Amino acid sequence: MTAIPLRPLNPLAGVETSVKDRLADLQARAQGRDAKGILHLALVEEFPGKSAIVSSFAAESVVLLHLTAEIDPSTPVLFLNTGKLFGETLRYRDRVQDVLGLTDIRAIGPHPADRAKSDPEGTLWSRDTDACCDFRKVVPLRKALEGFDASVTGRKRFQTNARSNMEPVEYFEGRFRFNPLVNWTHDELMAYIEDYKLPKHPLVMDGYPSIGCMPCTRRVASGGSYRDGRWAGSDKEECGIHVGVGGEGI
């Protein structure tokens, strides 16, 4: 099937239709492919040199990064260094880069001016987690993705209610978004890490099945659910960088 040329989104109905058509085409071509096949669709077949991996280098991130390294280890990997991460996460990033041979990991974070304006004392997380996530994650990632036509995430449907209906390919904020691991279960992810003897995040064995920023991540008690340690005590499930499903951005 011939790919429909990507054109910038604007208010004209014809352009909107072309994006919808291309999204439908990509979603159809993703059907029946495994994770590596969906990733290949993004990195090689459709958006070579115009795709970026978005990775937190957290509990399961190494699975997507391993698949990426097998296809093209020079693929840009955007890593959000919020300034509030666990030291273990920063050291884990360095180890994964070394083991997998990734050559283009880009650490991005809040602009110093934004930090001085929005959170000069570094305590915003304790008063307004949404505002903290916005200037430490959402704004820096939005800027870092400029110039890319596609992004790739490690999101899975099992993780949150908001992700339960997402598709392998989406369109949001002016670019296509691929989710190669969309249908994977937690057990499948852990089995993959074991099978390929991939580095494990040290906090996983310490009771952190899902890992984010240090102030907003807690250990999960035995028998607790996967995301209980994220923003514990609130109904918050998402930081905001991966909102939207399907073709909401069209």
Active site residues: 239
Phi, psi for residue 169 in degrees, rounded to 5: -130, 130
Nearest to 55 by CA among 127, 110, 104: 104
